[in-house]
Amino acid sequence: MGSEATDNEAALPLSGLRVLDLTQLLPGPYASLVLADFGAEVVKLEARGIGDPARMLPPFVPDGRHGVVFEALNRNKRSVAIDLKSEGGRELLARLLERADVLLEGFRPGVLARLGFGLEELARRYPRLIVCSVTGYGQRGPLASRAGHDIDYLAVSGALSLIGERDGPPVLPAFQIADAAGAWQAVTGILLALRARERTGRGQHVDVSLTDAAFALMPMQLAQAAAGEPVRRGRGPLGGEHPGYRVYRTADGEAIAVGALEPKFWERVCRAIGREDLVGLSAALYGGLPPHELERAHAELEALFAGRTRAAWQAVFEAIDACVEPVRELDEAIESEHVEQRGLLVESAGARVPLPGPRLSETPARARRAAPAHGADTEELLAELGYSPEQRARLRREGVVD
């Protein structure tokens, strides 16, 4: 399933791990990207024709071959264009599975079985194989067969109900929370299953639900709700009731984030803004103040912060360790010194794209190769699997591969 790794690739922690990726768009490709960045050999199996729809999402990389989103999620991978509904395509998948450690798939429950690769059949034929399924609602449960997107998973999990102002409707996040959380659950699940296989010699199934992943992002809120304490949008010390944990608008229409929960930080904020009389509001974290006092403090602080620009407030708090930061637009964050020094963006195919994952001191993630063109590695993979030139030509004629 792969050529011999270079010295640089061999030094990476997941070098030698072989992953077949049957996913598209965001959650699955994000998970396999992390594995690939740390050295895994990821073969992306795409449908013939267009392939992963993310290829067509604008804007495009400088040479126009595909979108920057596709580049960001699919570098360090190889691409095979295949028709899995054909007999030849299923045979090719079976041969690829013989060499694979991990199968990552994002079909609805039951689709793999209809293709002849149900979980029981996979476990029987490939006992060391780890199968990771990434779906909206999981492999079983009342919603398992339903279609959905990130907004739906956030809605069902209860997470969406907590985002927004107290007296307003839930607010749609501008990025995919459940999808990204599910990707990281998939990475974690795969690594855990690999560790278990070292002891048992057997693979297993990793069932990742994007709804469950969003649900798991709320441990504090879930614990409170399970204990009988209602958790509602815009309420509670972390929901906006505490004056020291809020976003305040500034004179220029920008915003500043105040996260001064601890009394020592809140005292520093109060001294910096000339409102030492508000130091006692730190008791709000523990329910020690009546609502009317909090509402009065909110109104006064909103007026105070609205009296200066974001830059002016940033100048006030830069030298003070008080958990107060400017709310940056995304393009500002991209150009920030933090992003630069942390190496959070790398160049791939002429575009700047994220480099996710933890920073390892000895074996860090690497962007080794640009995202592949659709089916770019089909011929090479077929040859590695032992298909003769004549057999490869026949598969193309029959429409099994591109």
pLDDT at position 276: 93
- Greater pLDDT, 281 or 257: 257
My answer on whether 80 and 140 are in the same domain is: yes
Average pLDDT over residues 229-242: 88
My answer on whether 182 and 321 are in the same domain is: no
Beta strands of 11-106 (E only): which ranges? 18-22, 41-47, 77-82, 102-105
Average pLDDT over residues 253-259: 97
pLDDT at position 286: 65
Residue 300, pLDDT > 90, answer: yes
Residue indicated by tokens 């509670």: 236
- In 3-state terms, what secondary structure has residue 132? strand
- In 3-state terms, what secondary structure has residue 382? helix
Evaluate whether residue 402 is within a structural domain: no
Rounded to the nearest 10 degrees, what angle do helices 177-200 and 150-157 cross at?
80
pLDDT at position 3: 44
Catalytic machinery residues? 149, 179
Which domain CATH number covers 113? Answer: 3.40.50.10540
Q: pLDDT tier at 203 (50, 70, 90 boundaries)? A: very high
Q: pLDDT tier at 287 (50, 70, 90 boundaries)? A: low
Say which range, 36-50, 225-239, 329-343, has the weakest mean pLDDT: 225-239
Q: pLDDT tier at 5 (50, 70, 90 boundaries)? A: very low
Which pTM was predicted? 0.93
Q: pLDDT tier at 281 (50, 70, 90 boundaries)? A: confident
My answer on whether 17 and 76 are in the same domain is: yes
Q: pLDDT tier at 9 (50, 70, 90 boundaries)? A: low
Q: How many domains does the chain have?
A: 2
Average pLDDT over residues 120-132: 98
pLDDT at position 295: 85
Residue 2, pLDDT > 60, answer: no
Average pLDDT over residues 1-28: 81
My answer on whether 48 and 123 are in the same domain is: yes
My answer on whether 12 and 144 are in the same domain is: yes
My answer on whether 18 and 48 are in the same domain is: yes
Read off the DSSP letter of residue 279.
Answer: G
For residue 124, the tally of other CB atoms under 10 A from its CB is 9
Beta bridge partners of 130: 102
Evaluate whether residue 2 is within a structural domain: no
pLDDT at position 254: 98
pLDDT at position 290: 74
Residue 284, pLDDT > 90, answer: no
Return the structure tokens found at 87: 């007999």
Range of the domain at 313: 245-249+255-326
pLDDT at position 293: 80
Per-chain mean pLDDT for the chain: 94
Quote the Cα angle for 140-145-148, to 5°. 115
Say which range, 161-165, 232-236, 293-297, has the weakest mean pLDDT: 293-297
My answer on whether 370 and 279 are in the same domain is: no
My answer on whether 317 and 347 are in the same domain is: no
Average pLDDT over residues 180-193: 98
Evaluate whether residue 333 is within a structural domain: no
Average pLDDT over residues 306-324: 96
My answer on whether 295 and 171 are in the same domain is: no
pLDDT at position 377: 97
pLDDT at position 240: 86
Q: pLDDT tier at 4 (50, 70, 90 boundaries)? A: very low
Residues making up the chain, counted from first to last = 402
Return the structure tokens found at 34: 């992390």
Last residue of a domain, one of 292, 326, 360: 326
Residue 296, pLDDT > 90, answer: no
pLDDT at position 8: 61
My answer on whether 42 and 175 are in the same domain is: yes
